[in-house]
């Protein structure tokens, strides 16, 4: 059985939650702006609402917007659910910038650099290009390319979004690994589009610690609890698991 790098040429990373700790970045800003609310609940509701609005964009019920616009729109939906909360329009605009520069998980940068020694490593995300560039620069993360769905023909989890990655990278779908911490929402539709898939667990994504939850799906190229193990699995010549 061939090592993984002989079967696959590229890795496309989801980054919201997988590489960048959105909750750990945004919740402290919520505490500063709205000390009277449950910051964890507010932050999670805010992100969930952004994806509700994104579904409306995908369905053609809203104009095409990037995630920065959608996070700002989502804030207007979330605030009324917290009656004790009030922000001026200017304060809303300021709070929405919390999503523009997201902190990376501390083990991500070194692992991504190691993976780049074997693969073409890009981003494939619903986050805005501006957000990924600013967040990556702040974290010292280098990519071979950044594919934001705001410039692609569709947003994830649409098939066209996943197929855009290998097409723009210059390889076949089966030669491309989709890497994410979201099994059902990201890896399953990626595999349905013909990509390989790899899972890395992020138990603190929503702020509250949980037990590690590896999906245990044999068709994944790799399943890892942390980035060090993840990078080793995909670069170590003695690791022979394949999709």
CATH number of the domain bearing residue 188: 3.40.50.1000
Range of the domain at 75: 23-99
Q: Are residues 27 and 116 in the same domain?
A: no
Model confidence at 240, pLDDT cuts 50, 70, 90, reads very low
Task: Say if residue 216's pLDDT is above 90.
Answer: no
pLDDT value for 1: 44
Q: Which two tokens stand for residue 209?
A: 């610690």
Task: Say if residue 242's pLDDT is above 50.
Answer: no
Q: Are residues 155 and 76 in the same domain?
A: no
The domain boundary, picked from 72, 99, 126, lies at: 99
Q: Are residues 143 and 207 in the same domain?
A: yes
Task: Say if residue 4's pLDDT is above 60.
Answer: no
Q: Are residues 69 and 157 in the same domain?
A: no
Q: Are residues 11 and 123 in the same domain?
A: yes
Model confidence at 7, pLDDT cuts 50, 70, 90, reads confident
Q: Are residues 13 and 47 in the same domain?
A: no
Task: Say if residue 2's pLDDT is above 90.
Answer: no
Q: Does some domain include residue 241?
A: no
Q: Which two tokens stand for residue 179?
A: 């890497």
Q: Does some domain include residue 68?
A: yes
Number of separate domains in the chain: 2
CATH number at residue 35: 1.10.150.240
Q: Are residues 106 and 221 in the same domain?
A: yes
Q: Are residues 64 and 171 in the same domain?
A: no
Which region, left, alpha or beta, applies to residue 140 given φ > 0 means left and ψ of -120 to 50 means alpha? left
Q: Which two tokens stand for residue 138?
A: 């702040």
Q: Which two tokens stand for residue 3?
A: 């090592």
Taking the C-alpha atoms of residue 64 and residue 16, their distance in angstroms, rounded to an integer, is 20
Compute the mean pLDDT over every residue in the chain, rounded to the nearest whole number: 93
Q: Are residues 30 and 141 in the same domain?
A: no
Q: Are residues 110 and 168 in the same domain?
A: yes
31-60 exposure pattern, b = at least 16 Cβ within 10 A, e = fewer? bebbeebebeebbbbbbebbbebbeebbee
Taking the C-alpha atoms of residue 3 and residue 6, their distance in angstroms, rounded to an integer, is 6
pTM greater than the 0.85 cutoff = yes
Q: Are residues 88 and 159 in the same domain?
A: no
Q: Which two tokens stand for residue 16?
A: 């919201």
Asked whether the bond before 207 is cis by omega within 30 degrees of 0, the reply is no
Task: Say if residue 61's pLDDT is above 90.
Answer: yes
Taking the C-alpha atoms of residue 205 and residue 203, their distance in angstroms, rounded to an integer, is 6
């Amino acid at each position: 059985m061939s090592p993984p790098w002989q079967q696959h040429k590229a890795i496309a990373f989801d980054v919201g939650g997988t590489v960048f700790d959105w909750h750990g970045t945004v919740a402290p800003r919520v505490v500063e702006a709205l000390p009277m609310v449950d910051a964890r609940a507010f932050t999670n509701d805010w992100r969930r609402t952004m994806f509700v609005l994104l579904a409306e964009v995908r369905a053609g019920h809203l104009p095409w917007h990037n995630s920065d616009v959608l996070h700002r729109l989502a804030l207007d939906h979330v605030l009324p659910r917290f009656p004790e909360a009030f922000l001026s329009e200017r304060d809303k605009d300021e709070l929405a910038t919390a999503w523009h520069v997201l902190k990376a998980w501390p083990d991500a940068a070194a692992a991504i650099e190691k993976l780049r020694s074997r693969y073409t490593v890009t981003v494939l995300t619903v986050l805005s290009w501006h957000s990924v560039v600013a967040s990556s620069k702040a974290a010292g993360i280098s990519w071979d390319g950044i594919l934001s769905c705001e410039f692609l023909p569709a947003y994830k989890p649409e098939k066209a979004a996943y197929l855009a990655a290998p097409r723009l990278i210059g390889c076949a779908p089966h030669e491309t690994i989709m890497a994410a911490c979201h099994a059902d929402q990201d890896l399953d539709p990626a595999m349905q589009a013909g990509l390989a898939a790899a899972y890395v667990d992020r138990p603190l994504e929503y702020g509250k610690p949980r037990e590690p939850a590896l999906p245990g799906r044999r068709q994944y190229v790799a399943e890892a609890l942390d980035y060090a193990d993840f990078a080793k699995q995909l670069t170590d010549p003695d690791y022979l698991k394949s999709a």
